[in-house]
Amino acid sequence: AGAETVKRAVELDLASRFQESLVCYQEGIDLLLQVVKGTGRAAAGRAGEGQFGSRLLQPDFFSDGKYHKQIRIEDNATGFSYEKVFQEYLTEILSEVWVEDPYIRNVHQASRYSLYNFLRFCEMLVKGPCKVKTIHLLTSYDEGSGRTQQISGLEEIQQSLRNYGVTLNIAFSSSIHDREIRFNNGWMIKIGRGLDYFKKPLGRFSIGYCDFDLRPCHETTVDVFHTKHTKKM
């Protein structure tokens, strides 16, 4: 049964039906693990033979029972707008999002446009096809005089989202360091640089200023996980 379920998962994967294939992979592996517990590793090895065996052994496909996909963004690479990175995971059942990023701060920092980046991320969620109703942001306070502008900017985003029926909950912490985004449909995305992986545009009228698919990126890594046991922040 486990072998047939995983075989079906491969077929769905090849058909680009990724959400359904993920469920089948999880169910199939659960069944195969039962074989391991019941008859030992030898039986599990026999059950894992066949056309799908090499797929299961890929170290970055499943890690500790979690789906794991990694995207490496090279320095100056383009084509990595938020829509391209996140769109696959914005399913219709998505209604709540948690963003943990310590640097959602002042737009006037020398190399950061973090508040604008967060706003663009929120715009993507509003457009759908997901039906996001609540966004939770955990970040750190800007330093010095920038704090007032940071809070003002976030409150303006909060009010604007309210006009679209979306609640933005804002919290601050002086000790956070991790950068991750969690969706209540089970997906979790960790980006090495957080939402701030785009380079500063060459000018206000240069290609890539408006279209982030054309904006060069800093080098970073995007790790995508899915687990039935993802806990909220």
Q: 2 lies in which domain range?
A: 1-38
Residue 43 lies in a domain: no
Residues 109-153 pLDDT 10s: 444 568 999 999 999 999 988 999 999 999 999 887 788 889 999
Residue 51 lies in a domain: no
What mean pLDDT is reported for the chain? 81
Burial group, residue 199, by CB count within 10 angstroms (0-12, 13-18, 19+): middle
pLDDT value of residue 230: 45
Overall average pLDDT of the 172-191 stretch: 93
Structure tokens at 183: 């969706």
Based on the domain organization, do 106 and 180 belong to the same domain? Answer: yes
pLDDT value of residue 118: 95
Q: What is the side-by-side strand order in the sheet with 167-172?
A: 62-63, 66-73, 220-226, 187-191, 180-183, 96-100, 134-139, 167-172
Residues 66-82 pLDDT 10s: 678 899 999 999 999 99
Based on the domain organization, do 101 and 146 belong to the same domain? Answer: yes
Q: For the chain, how many structural domains are there in total?
A: 2
CB–CB of 78/217 below 8 Å? yes
Q: How many percent of the chain have pLDDT more than 90?
A: 52
CATH code, 198: 3.30.870.30
Based on the domain organization, do 200 and 112 belong to the same domain? Answer: yes
pLDDT value of residue 17: 67
pLDDT value of residue 205: 94
Based on the domain organization, do 34 and 144 belong to the same domain? Answer: no
Poorest-confidence range of 16-20, 45-49, 73-77, 122-126? Answer: 45-49
Q: Is the pLDDT of residue 60 over 60?
A: no
